[in-house]
Structure 1
Amino acid sequence: MGNRLLKALMARVRRAAVRADGGMSTAEYAMGTLAACGFAAVLYKIVTSDVVSGRLQALIGRALDAPF
């Protein structure tokens, strides 16, 4: 009886090891979405700040005034 139980357990462990994770769970999607939104908010604040906005406008102005 012990040998059969051990074989069944080993087979179950092998099946679990072979089975691939199909993707993220709902909680992982929620955390990923929350992190992405937080990162987007921080990036938006940085890009719309006076210093970065001024430098981006200067960079675009120089690119548009470049001689061809």
Structure 2
Amino acid sequence: MRTPTRRPGSDDGSTTVEYAVVTVAVAAFAAVLYTLLTGDSVVSWLTNLVMKALTVPS
């Protein structure tokens, strides 16, 4: 007696879902990065770094 075999479910749309998940993850990462880089401490650190690079030692 043969056992009936089940066919795997369809993978239709799985690629689209993967792209959607990756897109949401990238957007969340960009939001966190933007928040960190626009904070006062980072802006002042970058400003000081640029000012040091542009000053001529006397």
**Counterparts of residues 25-64 of structure 1 (less than 5 Å):** 25-64=15-54
Structure with greater Cα Rg: 1
Q: Which runs of 5+ in 1 are unaligned?
A: 1-23
Provide the alpha-carbon RMSD of the alignment.
Answer: 1.7
TM-score by length of 2: 0.67
TM-score by length of 1: 0.58
Higher relative contact order (CA 8 A, sep 6+): 2
> Match of 1:65, as an amino acid?
T
Identity rate, percent: 45
User: How many matched pairs?
Assistant: 44
More helix by share: 1
Aligned-pair CA distance for 1:66: 4.6
